[in-house]
Structure 1
Amino acid sequence: MGRQVQRLTAILALGWSMGCQGEPPAVRFTDATDQAGLSFIHENGAAGQYFLIETMGAGGALADFDEDGDLDIYLVNGFDLRGLDTPPINLVHREDGLFWVAPAAPSAADRSADPADYAVALAPVAGVEPRGNALYRNEGTGTFVEVPNAGGAADKGYGMGVAVADADNDGDQDLYVTNYGPNALYHNRGDATFTRSRGVEAPQWSTSAAFFDRDNDGALDLYVVNYLDFTLATNKICGGFIRTDDAGLRAIGEDTRSYCAPSEYGGVPDVLYHNEGEGTFSDVSIAAGIANPNGKGLGVVAWDWNEDGYQDLYVANDGVANFLFQNAGDGTFREIALQAGVAYNVRGQAEAGMGVDLGDCDRDGDWDLFVTNFSRETNTLYRNEGTYFKDVTAASGLGRPSWLYLGFGTAFFDYDHDGDQDLYVANGHVLDRVHILQPGVRYAQEHQLFRNDGSCRFADVADSAGSWFAQEQVSRGLAQGDWDGDGDLDLLVTNCGGPAKLARNHDGNGRNWTSIKLVATAANRDAVGAEVRLVTGSLEQRRLVRSGTSYLSAGDRRLHFGLGGHERIDLLEVQWPDGTIQGFRDLPADQNWLIEQGRGVQNE
């Protein structure tokens, strides 16, 4: 079923009227995967037994790992699960191979478990040779070459997601890989070769992760989102399920066996690691108050929501209330999502929170929150009202178009350089037989592009934005960044059991832009938590340096602004994570700027 038919089905089902907002942009997106030399195909290892892990991954990242000025690609992989008739509880990966944990070993929910503690219980996985994760180096022309063994970060666990940051403040981008089973932190030697660090394995089923400085000590801490208390050995047989209008679940015949709903499994507490310096971390989850066993997390973002100088955390949970952990400034957090208006949607329902991002969509100076959800739910836009959030999904125009789609990766980004933060949603269902279970819904789905009119009202303009949007994909991760170096924002998309893809933005509507890389000297080097205010004429914009966001993925941390027809920047003001403010005036447009704290601005 095509995009137009699917939209019409949603409109008729809910009685919405057709409407349009503004004129569609002239920007086009095209599939540049083959032209760019990207040949990665995700292995979900579908075993015919419907292990839930098969349908949830995996993510990818755009970052400059070799510090040569352009964006490289890191992609997370799974491996073949076929033939596991009586699978053991879990798996671990070591330098000498991949091993199953015997049933007598600690369960995946045991946060104190370390693979080294039960190595005697391990058995080699017969006949499985995982390809592992992949690293592609950008040649500087928008073409990519695969790096053997991912520069030492191939990992070879059953991968889920990735977070990227300078975890040790040595000037390069490190990798944190989440897995079904123990995770891994890879320290970058500075040349896109990596060494693995211990102490942050988190043996649960982890999904997204975010680096942030919880105590303002200048070292990036690490928040790891965990999903379900699921093991291969306890995999359940489920018929299909339908999410009804009241968000209930209805089981149907076993002849349509599919993946179980998350309600079939318990939640798992998330993990918070404190950065002790010199690349070492300690688990402070319980002391910090974030070890809530009721979470079933998939997405996370960190920012100072109440502007008290400390970074807070938002976690998108699947089928249960979302979390907003407010930082008390003393090392502890208080969960306030219900009071703040972001635990549920406007109808008081928990949704299937997948991906998440922040943006100032109404240009009022604070950060609004967008969460992707399940089909026959809507994606949700929470507008920041200063002391609380308001669900404005319907009024924003984002409700109706998302009704029959299942959204995962997402990003606020100004794709047409008009000065507004637009929205992208990467769609794809988790149920391969969903067309039977939910008439009108498909497994492979088109992506959506929502153009912002400047007041937090959006119109889906995908039909007029190029051939890329005609593709039906089973997408999961999304990362944005100018990977071809032409000044506009492109995309990296990951697909479950399919090829990773690159979407090229053609010309960004021919308007002006600027890009800003921040290097902090009195805070974490990546300047995570810094805000930039940019003024051109009567147009004022803000961007936030953040980690996490989207789903299982990491985009370029440089801040990108569309400037419309303005050829110069009147004011560029940086508020650094330590609270100091630095300003620059009368800068030319169409430049990549590098700003080091306490020093001047230079062309990157």
Structure 2
Amino acid sequence: MLIESALYFFKTIYMWSSKNFKFFSALAIIFLLISCNKEKGLFTEMPVSQTHISFRNDIKEKDGLSILYYLYFYNGGGVSIGDINNDSLPDIYFTANTKGNNKLYLNKGGFQFEDITNQAGVSGSSDWCSGSTMADVNADGLLDIYVSSVSNKYGLKGRNELFINNGNGTFSEKANQYGLDISCFTTQSVFFDYDRDGDLDCYILNQSHKPHSNIIDTSNRHKYDTLSGDRLYRNDLKNTGKFTDVSASAGIYQSALGYGLGIAVADLNNDGWDDIYIGNDFHENDYYYINQQDGSFKEEGVKHFRHYSRFSMGNDIADYNNDGQLDLITVDMLPSDEKILKTYGSDENPDIYKVKLEMNGFQKQYSRNMLQQNNGNGISFSETGLQSGVSATDWSWSPLLADFDNDGNKDLVITSGIVKRPVDMDYVNYISDMQRRKGLDLTDQFDQEAIDNMPDGSSHPYLFMGNGQSDFKDQSKLWGLETKKGYFTGSAYADLDNDGNLDLVINALNGPAMI
């Protein structure tokens, strides 16, 4: 468009005054050069030719394993960043949804990385890996890697794996030895010292394997489900050499109601003890576990939050308005594009919604991102997502609150995009019609046709500049990420080249990871 405008300008000037041809030709060329000299964005995607990071998380449907059967088929993989060899350069670990394809990249400096996966022994043996975490699990001064996985259904096999850093560029898998080799539906895991005894304990966030269309009375939260329930493990390495499952005694819900997709840990009420916020997809409330300082937690979300995201995905905690109080964001699936919004089938039947609130004990939920402002010591939170301009970022996964432009204020990055968009109402009507036409003859051919006709859900990472108060401005275009179309899932940030600026690492489905 810029070139066409310049040519039109040049042509008009030529016809207007041929005797000033040289002058106006020069003027037109200057205009063209200025127009093409676009302002450089805050972020620049680093080419594979420089980084040598060629990781991709490619998935393919197969019999019994697709979005039609496993509702989190397109959730993607994770990424964790940490200095595994103590050379002051952050290294990167990616997880994949296919066996043996996790990757560990050693930072060599200058945005150059080396794939050391094979010699390090961290490719992973589970069929479907999800989140990953770097933490010094055994307190030896070296970062270890814990990999979450989904297993025991849809033909998926595997267990969560713990790769202990040997200090020589290799790792040893010791999840069984440490008591952390659980086999269930794990989304992500977090290591933190919840009992303040000087070592890192572990919270394992799981997703439900039950049909989400069933509204179960919330009194069932206290029941136990072997695959779905969350787990809290106390670090007892000094005494028994293992982690101990203390979920029940610590007051952690372990039922099939929780579709855990996000976890954040911080001291939200300023009492010096870490609390836990869990983001749950679908009907279940998000959980706000307040640390009771005696080895247990109490879930008190209803007392402190007025409403939640309807489909809570990832979350993050930071003080975005510089008032000394930690705030919270959870992301959802509300589209910002008007056309997509018109076909977006997320609203709940009002009668069902009323039953959920009045008879089943659920709390108010709305399908959009929620920015929860801490009003002081975690006593109450005011939700400002709409007011702050961050409520709609399409099918969102990972929010990150950090100061990316070094102005002293927290900014916000949200990854977004899904390979296929199953909630498109035109598609839902199409499938209903197809089912009526084909009756009960639902074959593999039917499955493939249903998947092929599901609309694309590509998006871009959203970038918002914070003003240190309550407002955020969408800078996706100016900062250089609006043109990056794809399916962007797990993300993390670090100063990869030690230049004082935070860099982004983003995992993607069916596409290359972005640095």
TM over 0.5: yes
Q: 1:149: which partner in 2?
A: 118
Q: Which residue among 307, 313, 317 is the counterpart of 1:358?
A: 317
Structure showing the higher strand proportion among its residues: 1
Gaps of 5+ in 2: 1-38, 152-158, 216-224, 336-366, 430-454
* Contact kept in structure 1, 2:315 and 2:330, CA below 8 Å: yes
Rounded to whole Å, the distance in 2 between the matches of 1:191 and 1:166 is 15
Query: Are the equivalent residues in 2 in contact too, given 1:65–1:72 (CA < 8 A)?
Result: yes
User: Alignment partner for residue 389 of structure 2, among 386, 390, 397?
Assistant: 397
Alignment check: 8 A CA contact 2:231 2:254 kept: no
Q: 2:140 aligns with which of 137, 153, 170?
A: 170
For residue 326 of structure 2, the aligned residue among 326, 349, 367 is 367
CA distance in 1, matches of 2:119, 2:61: 24
> Quick check: 1:273–1:282 contact (8 Å CA) kept in 2?
yes
CA distance in 1, matches of 2:100, 2:242: 28
Give the Cα separation in 2 of the matches to 1:135 and 1:356.
25
| 3-state SS of paired residue (1:73) | strand
C-alpha displacement at 1:283, in angstroms? 0.8
**2:84 matched to which residue of 1?**
65
Aligned to 1:123: none
Offset of residue 453 of structure 1:
1.2
Deviation at 1:447? 1.2
Q: Which amino acid aligns with 2:398?
A: G
Cα–Cα, structure 1 residues 430 and 323, in superposed 2: closer, same or farther, change >3 Å?
farther
Q: 1:375 offset after TM fit, Å?
A: 3.0
Q: How many angstroms apart in 2 are the aligned matches of 1:338 and 1:268? A: 22
Contact 1:434 1:442 in 2 (8 A): no
Higher alpha-carbon Rg: 2
2: CA distance between counterparts of 1:33 and 1:287?
A: 50
Residues 451 and 210 of structure 1: CA distance in aligned 2, closer, same or farther (over 3 Å): same
Number of aligned positions between the proteins: 389
Looking at structure 1, the residues matched to 101 and 76 of structure 2 have their Cα atoms a distance apart, in angstroms, of: 14
State the match for 2:510 in structure 1.
497
Q: Which runs of 5 or more residues in structure 1 are unaligned?
A: 1-24, 80-129, 231-235, 242-247, 249-264, 503-604
**Which AA in structure 2 matches 1:277?**
L
Greater relative contact order (Cα 8 A, min sep 6): structure 1 or 2? Answer: 1
Pick aligned residue for 1:318 from 281, 287, 310: 281
The amino acid of 2:45's aligned partner reads D
Task: Give, in angstroms, the shift of residue 438 of structure 1.
Answer: 8.6
Distance 1:485 1:383 in 2: 32
Corresponding residue number in structure 1 for 2:62: 47
Q: CA deviation at 1:433?
A: 5.5
Residue 471 (structure 2) aligned to one of 433, 445, 457 = 457
Task: After TM superposition, list the pairs within 5 Å mapping 1:279-298 onto structure 2.
Answer: 280-293=242-255, 294-298=257-261
Cα displacement (A) at 1:413: 1.1
Cα 1:438–1:383 change in 2 (3 A) is farther
Q: Structure 1: which 4+ aligned runs deviate by more than 6 Å?
A: none
The answer to whether the Cα contact below 8 Å between 2:100 and 2:124 also exists between their aligned partners in 1 is no
Q: Hey, what's the Cα distance between the residues in 1 that align with 2:119 and 2:266?
A: 31
Q: Distance between the aligned counterparts of 2:264 and 2:383, measured in 1?
A: 18
Q: Paired residue for 1:380, among 370, 376, 384?
A: 370
- For 1:40 and 1:426, the matched residues in 2 are separated by 17
Deviation at 1:275, TM superposition (A): 0.4
Greater helix share, 1 or 2? 2
- Match in the other structure for 2:396: 407
Whether the 8 Å CA contact 1:361–1:455 is kept in 2: the answer is: yes
How far apart, CA to CA, are the structure 2 residues paired with 1:26 and 1:290? 48
Q: Secondary structure at the residue paired with 2:55?
A: coil
8 Å contact from structure 2 (residues 460, 488) kept in 1: no
What SS is found at the alignment partner of 1:149? helix
Q: Which letter does structure 1 place at the counterpart of 2:170?
A: T
Deviation at 1:473, TM superposition (A): 1.4
Report deviation, 1:156: 2.3
The equivalent residue for 2:155 is none
| 1:507-522 alignment runs, 5 A limit | none
Give the residue type in structure 2 aligned to 1:228.
S
- Which of 224, 227, 246 lines up with 2:207 in the alignment? 227
Given the alignment of the two structures, is residue 308 of structure 1 paired with residue 285 of structure 2, yes or no?
no
Counting aligned pairs with the same residue, the percent is: 30
Specify the SS of the correspondent of 1:139: strand
Output the aligned Cα RMSD: 2.6
8 Å contact kept, 1:213–1:219: yes
Q: Take 1:395 and 1:433, find their aligned partners in 2: how far apart are those partners?
A: 29
Structure 2 equivalent of residue 477 of structure 1:
490
- TM-score normalised according to structure 2 size: 0.71
